[in-house]
Structure 1
Amino acid sequence: RANDAGYEAYAAQIKNEEQDIVLDNHEERITKTEESLASLEVRVLNIENDVDGLKIKIQDIDGKVSEILVDYVSLSKKEQQSLSSSLDVTLSYSVNGTKVIGNRVTGFTAATGTSLKSDFNADQSFSIGEDYNQSEIQTLANALIATRQRIKALEDALRLHGLID
């Protein structure tokens, strides 16, 4: 029996040594795993910070997009749009490909005198006899003055709109 007990003790010692090796391997793996987890925890925290920063940027962008949606001029919108500020156009304004306003025409000298913006009869005819009289000439002169005043009013409007200088 003493031999059996000695053998069992020896077998138990070998088993303990094998288990010590396994435990050492486990401890080493657990230590490495804990180090990896700590590193991953730092990376997760960094990612969470990045995500929080991106959320703030998205909120800022969302606010800006909302502002744009409320106050923008669309190239494809069909209904009437409004522009509150001035618009600087390099060449011309066109409607359906047809130029309606282009560069300012220069070289005009401003007319002087009175402008006529009130109504007048563009179809008015004048009767003139074979022998001109002062009254007929005066009527023609007054019509000519009214026409020139209307031309000046149109010129003033073109100048005010910036179409001529």
Structure 2
Amino acid sequence: MPGYLALGAGSAAGRAGAFASVAGTGLLAFAMTASNLHGEDYGWFPALAVPANALWAAGSVVLAVTTARSRSLPRPLAVALPVIWLSSIMLSQLGGNLLAGVLWAAVAWTAQPARRHRRPGNRPPVTLPYARGEGQPADGDGEADADGEALVVAGTYGTALPLT
């Protein structure tokens, strides 16, 4: 559930998809736990499981679209988000939850802030410390900043901005 909420945080549509996925998985977890404790499905199980599965599946599709459009996940991984529902429900008797676990691991690996910086065009800032009077400041103007602060190279390497 936290994974869906984190993926949906970027937009209103993403939050709606995340809420639907979380509501669906929560309702389904409740119904499945009750059935497991009872030893068989209760009579009300289909009435709760069908809408819960629909919420989870629809929310996953919305999240797939929003994460693909926002490029918060690589497109193939974003498109695979509904496969988590499919493998967890439809393929559960065949070990589908292993596939769901692998997909969540890939989402978590890709979503780490350090990984985001490694994508082309999205480089991490580099701090270039220097003391007054020691060599050329990183901003290239030939003068040290009055406070002797480090400079941060942001965006394309070579563009220096004061660290604030």
Fold match by TM threshold 0.5:
no
TM-score (norm 2): 0.26
Q: Which has the larger radius of gyration?
A: 1
Structure with the larger RCO, 1 or 2 (CA within 8 Å, 6+ apart): 1
TM-score (norm 1): 0.26
